[in-house]
Amino acid sequence: MVRSMIRWTVLGLVVGLLAAASSVHAQQQPPRVFASDAGMVLNFVKADKAADFEAVVHKLKEALQKSDKPQRKEQAATWKVFKSPDPAAGGNVLYVFVIDPSVKGADYNVIQLLIEGFTNAEVQTLYTQYAGALASQNIVNLSLVADLGK
C-alpha cells in the first residue's frame, strides 16, 4: 500500500514536471519578426496532421481578432494562409503564410500569439497540435523588387 502511494506520488511529480517544462518551452518562443517588406512561412505539415494544423490556424485567427492590441488587428489584415493542392515532398501538405505587407516590429510567432489569446491549458493543447503537425518550416523574408501593377 505504501509502495503504491509512493509510486503514484512519484508519477504525479514526473508528470507535473514534464507539463511544466513543456509549458515553459511553449512560453519561451523566440520572436519572429519580418525585417523586410513582406514575408512567407512555408509550413510542411504531416498529411495525417493537416486537420490539427488547420485547427491551430483557426485559433490563431481568433486570437488576433479578439486582441485589444491594434498591431494584432493590423497583422491579421495582411496575413493570409494558403494550402497547396499538390502534395509536397515526403507526402507532406504545404501551407503557406503570406504576410504582405509585414507589420514592422510585430511578432509573428504563432505560439506567442496563441499565448496572448488563450489560457495556459488551451495553449498547451494548441502547442502540442502545432508542433506535432509540422514536418518542417522555412521562413522567407521578401523585399519588393518591382510592383508590376503600378
Q: Is 62 contained in some domain? A: yes
Q: Global pTM?
A: 0.80
Residue 27 reports pLDDT greater than 70: no
In this structure, what DSSP letter does residue 47 have? Answer: G
Position 48 in a domain:
yes
- CATH number at 40 reads 3.30.70.100
For residue 48, the model assigns a pLDDT of 98
**Average pLDDT in the 19-34 region?**
64
Please report whether residue 66 resides in a domain.
yes
Q: How far lies 127's CA from each of 41, 50, 115, 141, in Å?
A: 17, 14, 10, 24
Q: Residue 110: exposed, middle, or buried by beta-carbon count in 10 A (0-12, 13-18, 19+)?
A: buried
pLDDT of residue 14: 44
**Number of CB atoms found within 10 A of residue 15's CB:** 10
Angle at 62 (CA atoms; ends 58, 63), nearest 5 degrees: 115
Q: Indicate whether 150 belongs to any domain.
A: no
- Residue 29's pLDDT band, with cuts at 50, 70 and 90, is confident
Domain enclosing residue 110, as ranges: 2-142
The answer to whether residue 13 is domain-embedded is yes
pLDDT digits (tens, 9 = 90+) for 50-73: 999 999 999 999 999 999 999 999
Contact 81, 57 (CB under 8 A): yes
Task: State residue 25's pLDDT score.
Answer: 47
Total domains in the chain come to 1
26 pLDDT band, cuts 50/70/90, is: very low
In a domain, 33, yes or no: yes
| 147 domain-assigned | no
Position 69 in a domain = yes
